[in-house]
Structures are given as C-alpha cells and as structure tokens.
C-alpha cells in the first residue's frame, strides 16, 4: 500500500503557483520523497526528489517539513501543459516505486 | 532521443494468444523495472533486473508472465495465454544502480485483449 496521502484533485489558474500537498506521516529515516507526474497516455515523468532538505530544479521545488511527515510540490508558474496526475511517493533506497492514486491537477486558463 | 523506449506502443490481441513487449532502457542504466497500470490506478510494480539478474518479482506476476534481460541491455516481457484481465498499460523504467537515483519511464505498451 502507498504510504502517502494526497487529496484527489485541485485546480489553479494559469500563471499562478500550484502547491500540491502530500502527507507521509509514517516515513522512515532513510526513505526519500519522490514526485512524478503523468499526462494522459504517457508514462510517469520524474519531477524531483528529496530526503530532508528542500530541493529545487528547473521543473519545481520540493518543500519537506522539518519532521518529514509532509511535503509540498511547488510549480512556480503553472501552465496548461502542467495539467496531469501528480504522484507523491515515499521510497526506501533502491527499492520499487509504490504509486497511490495521485492528485489530479487541472490548470485553468 | 536517449530516453526509455518501448515497443510496440499498442497491441491488440485475442484472448488466449501470447504477446511479447520490448523495453530499451537508457544506455547507462543497469536497473530495469516493469510496471502495470490499469485505468484510473497508479502503476503497480511487476519485476526488476539489475544487469541481467532478475532480483524481485511481485505476486502480481503470475506463471503466465515471464521477463528476461539477456546481456543486461534490453528486456522483454512475455504474457502467455492472455486473459481479459491482462488488458493494461505495461510500463518500463530504468535507473542507475545507486540507492536514491530516480527511475525514468517509457511511454508504455497498451495491451487490449479482445
């Protein structure tokens, strides 16, 4: 079973920041938080991952709380192409990915 | 394009037939994973290889399923005597052999059983 909890859906306006929450209250000390997204009919696309420090790359920022029990993925300027299902995954080092149902982000014009 | 490549993209077959899918991972990656995704669900793990060795198999991988990765490069997933319930998207992913390295996915093979 997935070790994360995400709301089923959210929307945001194009050009605004999209903040996608994820709860992982049972995360272990060596488990990383990964975010993937999946656009219809495509495979999951890796976005970002982190252990305990906040991370940023060209796609997004990942904010992990100090107790590591929750995190937020931030898309700073959402576009229509960011409409997708976003998966938050907690993963022990070197193991499989266990996907939940994810959160459906709808970006409106 | 140096991403993960899967072939074919779509496969339609009659129940009871055998099907085989191919995955070409990113060339430097020595880990290769297979997942299955049904409509409305997230992908589910099936099996993974480190080089040519198959190190883990999910209980979802029934006796009708077999995966190989000869020479540690491309991989094939074969389903024998297909059933209606095998209809799904079959996804392949690859990664470096380091503990926190992300897996990168192909666009999958969509299997439809008539």
pLDDT (average), residues B51-58 = 93
A86: pLDDT strictly greater than 90: yes
**DSSP letters for A2-69:** -S-B--SEEEEETTS-EEEEEE-TT--TTPEEEEEEE-TTS--EEEEEESSS-EE-SS-EEEE-TTSS
Q: Kindly state whether A96 is in contact with chain B, defined as any CB-CB distance less than 8 angstroms.
A: yes
Put simply, the answer to whether B100 touches A96 (Cβ < 8 Å) is no
- Alpha-carbon distances, residue A38 vs A64, A68, B14, B107 (angstroms): 22, 25, 29, 10
Q: What is the mean pLDDT of residues B90-97?
A: 94
Ramachandran bin of B5, using left for φ above 0, alpha for ψ from -120 to 50, beta for the remaining angles: beta
pLDDT value for B100: 86
Whether residue A99 and residue B102 make contact (CB cut-off 8 A), yes or no, is no
**Interchain proximity B93–A2, CB inside 8 Å:** no
pLDDT value for B1: 54
Mean pLDDT calculated for residue range B84-97: 95
Q: Measured between CA atoms, how close is A46 to chain B, in angstroms?
A: 6
Give strand ranges (E) for chain B: 5-7, 10-13, 19-24, 31-37, 44-50, 53-57, 65-68, 75-79, 88-95, 104-105, 109-113
**What confidence tier does A98 reach under pLDDT thresholds 50, 70, 90?**
very high
Q: Do the Cβ atoms of A63 and A56 come closer than 8 Å? A: no
Of B40, B42, B100, the CB nearest to A32: B100
d(CA B113, CA B99): 37
A97–B43 C-beta distance less than 8 A: yes
| The token pair that represents A42 in the structure block | 């495509």
Q: Pairing state of beta strands A61-64 and B88-95?
A: unpaired
Per-residue pLDDT, A77: 96
Q: Which residue of A has its CA nearest to B31?
A: A94
Interchain CB distance below 8 Å, A96 and B93: no
Residue of B37, B28, B39, B51 whose CA lies nearest to B104: B28
Give the pLDDT band of residue B99 (cuts 50, 70, 90): confident
Residues 6+ apart with CB under 8 A from A103: A6, A7, A8, A9, A10, A20, A85, A86, A88
Q: Which of A41, A49, A101 sits opposite B42 (nearest CB)?
A: A101
Note the pLDDT of residue B98: 77
pLDDT tens figures, A26-57: 999 889 999 999 998 899 999 999 999 899 99
State the nearest Cα–Cα gap between B33 and chain A, in angstroms.
Answer: 8
Assign B25 a pLDDT band (cuts: 50, 70, 90): very high
Cβ atoms of B48 and B91 within 8 Å: the answer is no
Q: What is the pLDDT of residue A79?
A: 97
Give the separation between CA B10 and CA B27, rounded to whole angstroms. Answer: 23
**Looking at CA atoms only, how far is residue A4 from chain B in angstroms?**
13
Q: What integer pLDDT is reported at residue A41 of this predicted model?
A: 85
Q: Do B103 and A2 touch (CB under 8 A)?
A: no
Share of chain B residues as helix, strand and coil, in percent rounded to the nearest 5: 5, 50, 45
What would the mean pLDDT of B67-91 be, rounded to a whole number?
96
Average pLDDT over residues A100-104: 94
The pLDDT of residue A66: 95
The per-residue pLDDT of chain A, averaged, comes to 94
Query: Which residues partner with A86 through β-bridges?
Result: A37, A103
The shortest C-alpha distance from B17 to chain A (Å) reads 24
- Chain-chain contact of A99 with B103 (C-beta, under 8 angstroms): no
pLDDT band at B30 (very low <50, low <70, confident <90, very high): very high
């Amino acid at each position: 079973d997935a070790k994360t909890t995400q709301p089923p859906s959210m929307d945001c306006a194009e050009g605004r920041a999209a903040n996608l929450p994820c709860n992982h209250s049972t995360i272990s000390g060596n488990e990383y938080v990964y975010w993937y997204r999946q656009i219809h009919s495509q495979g999951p696309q890796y976005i970002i991952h982190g252990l305990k420090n906040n991370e940023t790359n060209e796609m997004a920022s990942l904010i992990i709380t100090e107790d590591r029990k929750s995190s937020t993925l931030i898309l700073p300027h959402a576009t229509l192409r960011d409409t997708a299902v976003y998966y938050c995954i907690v993963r022990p080092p070197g193991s499989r990915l266990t996907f939940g149902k994810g959160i459906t982000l709808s970006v409106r014009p | 394009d140096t991403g993960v490549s899967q072939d074919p993209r779509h496969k339609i077959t009659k129940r009871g037939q055998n099907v085989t899918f191919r995955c070409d991972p990113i060339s430097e990656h020595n880990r290769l994973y297979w997942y299955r995704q049904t409509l409305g669900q997230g992908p589910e793990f099936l099996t993974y290889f480190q080089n040519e060795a198959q190190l883990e198999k999910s209980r979802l991988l029934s006796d009708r399923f077999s995966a190989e990765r000869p020479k540690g490069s491309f991989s094939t997933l074969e389903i024998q005597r297909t059933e209606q319930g095998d209809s799904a998207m079959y996804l392949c992913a690859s990664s470096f052999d380091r503990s926190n390295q992300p897996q990168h996915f192909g666009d999958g093979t969509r299997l439809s059983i008539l």
